[in-house]
Structure formats: C-alpha cells, structure tokens
Amino acid sequence: MSSRPQPQQLNSQSLNPASLMEINVLKRVAMEQQKTNVQASIPYYAKICQIVDNQRLPDNDTMPLNTIRADAHAQLADAYYKVQNWIQCEASLMVAVKIWERMLEMPEESDGKLTAKTRLGEAYDILRTCYNTLGKSRLAELMEKRKSKLAP
C-alpha cells in the first residue's frame, strides 16, 4: 500500500514583501476611490483581504498577521457599511471581531489588547446598527450586551 504525498504548505517567518507592496498600493487606490465613490473602493479592499487571508506564518507567530487581517476586514466592512450593504458588512466585520475577541483572551497586557478592546466597541455598535436595519433585534441586543461587557 503506497501513500500519496501530501501537499506541502509554505510557511514564512514574515509577510511576503511583494504582497506587502501590493497591499500598500491597493490601500492607497482604495482610499482615493473612497473619497469620491465608496462603492468603487470595495473591490480593492476585498483584494487586500484576499491577499492577507492567503498569507501563512508559523502557528506560534500569527498575532502580527491577525492584526493586519482584522484591520483589512474592518476596512472592507466600513466600505460596505457606507453603501448600506448590511449583510456583507456583517460578514466582513465578524472576521475582525473574532480576531479582536481572541486578542482580548491573551493573558498579557499590551497595546494590541487595548486597541482590540476599542475596535471591538466600535464594531459592536456597527453590528448593532446592521442587525437593527435587517430586523434582527435579538442579535442587536446581543451586540449591546457584548459591548457592555467590555467596560472595565
């Protein structure tokens, strides 16, 4: 019985420099587009999310990448929010929320943890608005409860 070779996963110790350059260019274009036409910025933010989501770092060092990933998805969610695409806004923002919630569970205090707490509060407000607009009052109440638990 022969075993088939397993696909290999490439891990890097840092983000791919070419990807970083592409992300920076896409971010600049998206920000320019957003000044005049928010809808036009969405494909650029979506591409940034795709690039970041496909990056692989060692399992023990994913925090920097997760911070970038959360920020990318939050920016995409913000663009969807501005064009009132509530369902896509929720989907993108939930990716960021899950990352920020995991950051809060980390035992050590850090600036990243404080930033995550602040960003979570803002995200819960946006999600509450989305859920209220979609007629999902129970989920809106849940976001309010989650936000109240953030208070010290």
More confident residue, 83 or 4: 83
How large is the average pLDDT for residues 107-127?
Answer: 85
Within-domain flag for 74: yes
pLDDT tens-place string over residues 45-72: 999 999 999 887 666 656 778 888 999 9
Q: Kindly report each contact of residues 15-22 with a partner whose C-beta sits within 8 Å and lies 24 or more positions away, as own/partner.
A: 15/55, 15/57, 15/64, 15/65, 15/68, 16/55, 19/51, 19/55, 22/51
Q: Does residue 22 fall inside a structural domain?
A: yes
What was the pLDDT predicted at 60?
60
| CA dihedral angle for residue 117, residue 88, residue 137, residue 95, rounded to 10 degrees | -30
CA distance linking residue 136 with residue 140, whole number of Å: 6
Residue written as tokens 């920076």? 24
87: DSSP letter: H
Would you say residue 134 lies in a domain? yes
Q: Which domain does 41 fall in, by range?
A: 17-150
Q: Which pLDDT does position 83 carry in this prediction?
A: 96
Residues 123 and 81: their CA atoms lie apart, in Å, by 11
* 29 class by beta-carbon count within 10 Å (0-12 exposed, 13-18 middle, 19+ buried): middle
State the CATH number of the domain containing residue 30. Answer: 1.25.40.10
- On whether residue 8 sits in a domain, the answer given is no
User: In the prediction, which pLDDT does 62 show?
Assistant: 61
> In the predicted model, what is the mean pLDDT of the chain?
86
The residue with greater pLDDT, 8 or 100, is: 100
Residue 114: pLDDT band by 50, 70, 90 thresholds? Answer: confident
Task: Kindly report the pTM of this predicted structure.
Answer: 0.83
- Number of separate domains in the chain: 1
1: in domain: no
Q: Tell me: the pLDDT tens digits for 71-89?
A: 999 999 999 999 999 999 9
Q: Are 130 and 81 in contact (CB under 8 A)?
A: yes
Residue 9, domain member (yes or no): no
User: Is residue 132's pLDDT more than 80?
Assistant: yes
In a domain, 54, yes or no: yes
Asked whether residue 5 is assigned to any structural domain, the reply reads no
